[in-house]
Structure 1
Amino acid sequence: MKKIGLISDTHGELSRRVVRFLENVDEIWHAGDIGNEQLADKLSALKPLRAVYGNIDGHVLRRMFPETVRFFCEDVDVLITHIGGYPGRYDSRIRKQIYTNPPQLFIAGHSHILKVINDKKINCLHMNPGAAGNKGFHKVCTAIRFTVDCKNIQDLEVLEFERTKF
């Protein structure tokens, strides 16, 4: 069993609230737009980090992390990318892979909007943790925590707070 902390769109900043939310997880997964390598290092120092780069990430972060990563956590097939869309509107860069070889869990960031949607057509759970950082159009910072136990994704928790209280 693994407890996962899922964040995205930090844009180089991480509040104490998010850090506290991530304290009791086994791994941190970041769905892109990390912002700078110092933040990536800070996250790696907290917990083991799996991350992808996002559209605002520069060449250093693009060397540190891939655009897309696919792996197994316990018995769950996981696919993470930054710009991925959502069920019924997957981005063209990922659409073929999702439909020909669907993961059990598909994670994307970019929209700054927290979403958890079950894609019943391909039996895939889609998660977008929204934006944990303080830059962008969003008014609320969000993060997700959940447990992976064998093939089960369970115990989902959401952190949500107003950006002005960063």
Structure 2
Amino acid sequence: MSDVEILNLPDGGVLRIGVVADTHVPDRVVGLHPALLSTLQQEKVDYIFHAGDICDEQIETQLSKVAPVRAVLGNRDWLYGRKLPHVYRFEVNGTRGVLMHGQGTFLDYWWDKVWYTLEGYRFARYRKTLEKMAPDCDLFIFGHTHRAENMVEDGRWFFNPGCASSPKYRRGPSIGVLQFELGKAPQGKIITLDGAFLEGRNWKTNK
């Protein structure tokens, strides 16, 4: 792979990456979920990956107060004139990974719109797009669908943290955490963000 960032394990031998996608500030919500930053802090992440549809660059500024941020362009980000890469490639502890939003090319995006209308969400459609964008990777981190995924298929790991703002299914807003540890297989988990719900575009605290 070209243009790959090597992420080294810290002295403790464990590297943790917080994964966030589809924050949609301010196009769908006025700000981050109240528990998002504190959850990342509690998880003691070394990096934060944002899988696109960030929209406002101030979100990256807020996230960077927790850990260094790597971010890619989502289909909504171009409306805000964002200057971000479409893909970010990295390698950690022997795992070759790629971070992308997941919508693919302009044609891929609109072709999927047609199929989504006809048959709804099908992960297999997105998998084809992901693998076409980065055929040499072991780990695919993506967003776009607003649905969490954490699965291994044919030896490849597909990880979507879900939507941090307005998910399209019953599970609430969520983020993810990946852990890489010396001598062990990498692991990932999805964390549902509790304590607040959306009322219109505003977060309301649960009582």
Q: Give the TM bin, normalised by the shorter chain.
A: 0.7 to 0.9
Length-normalised TM-score, structure 2? 0.67
Q: How many residues align?
A: 159
Residue in 1 aligned with 2:93?
A: 74
Deviations 1:132-165 (A, max 9, x none): 12x46455101111211247212x3322136345
Residue in 1 aligned with 2:131?
A: 95
> 1:66/1:98 Cα in 2 relative to 1: closer, same or farther (>3 Å)?
closer
Q: How far apart, CA to CA, are the structure 1 residues paired with 2:67 and 2:54?
A: 15
Residues 15-164 of structure 1 aligned to structure 2 (within 5 Å): 15-23=33-41, 24-58=44-78, 62-63=82-83, 65-83=84-102, 88-90=124-126, 94-99=130-135, 101=136, 103-120=137-154, 123-133=155-165, 135=166, 137-138=168-169, 140-150=172-182, 152-154=185-187, 156-160=188-192, 161=194, 163-164=197-198
Gaps of 5+ in 2: 1-13, 26-30, 105-121, 199-203
List, as ranges, runs of 4+ consecutive aligned residues in structure 1 with deviation greater than 2 Å.
Answer: 58-62, 84-99, 135-139, 161-166
Q: How far apart, CA to CA, are the structure 2 residues paired with 1:32 and 1:47?
A: 17
Q: How far apart, CA to CA, are the structure 2 residues paired with 1:97 and 1:138?
A: 27
Bigger fraction of residues in strand: 1
Superposed displacement of residue 40, structure 1: 1.3
Q: How far apart, CA to CA, are the structure 2 residues paired with 1:96 and 1:157?
A: 25
What fraction of aligned residue pairs are identical, expressed as a percent? 30
SS in structure 1 of the partner of residue 32 of structure 2: coil
Length-normalised TM-score, structure 1? 0.82
One-letter code aligned to 2:98: L
Contact map agreement 1:87 1:117 (CA 8 A) in 2: no
Output the aligned Cα RMSD: 2.5
Q: How far apart, CA to CA, are the structure 2 residues paired with 1:41 and 1:66?
A: 17
SS in structure 1 of the partner of residue 186 of structure 2: strand
Q: How far apart, CA to CA, are the structure 2 residues paired with 1:97 and 1:66?
A: 13
Q: How far apart, CA to CA, are the structure 2 residues paired with 1:148 and 1:87?
A: 25
Contact map agreement 2:150 2:189 (CA 8 A) in 1: no
Superposed displacement of residue 98, structure 1: 4.0
Q: How far apart, CA to CA, are the structure 2 residues paired with 1:61 and 1:21?
A: 29
> 1:96/1:58 Cα in 2 relative to 1: closer, same or farther (>3 Å)?
closer
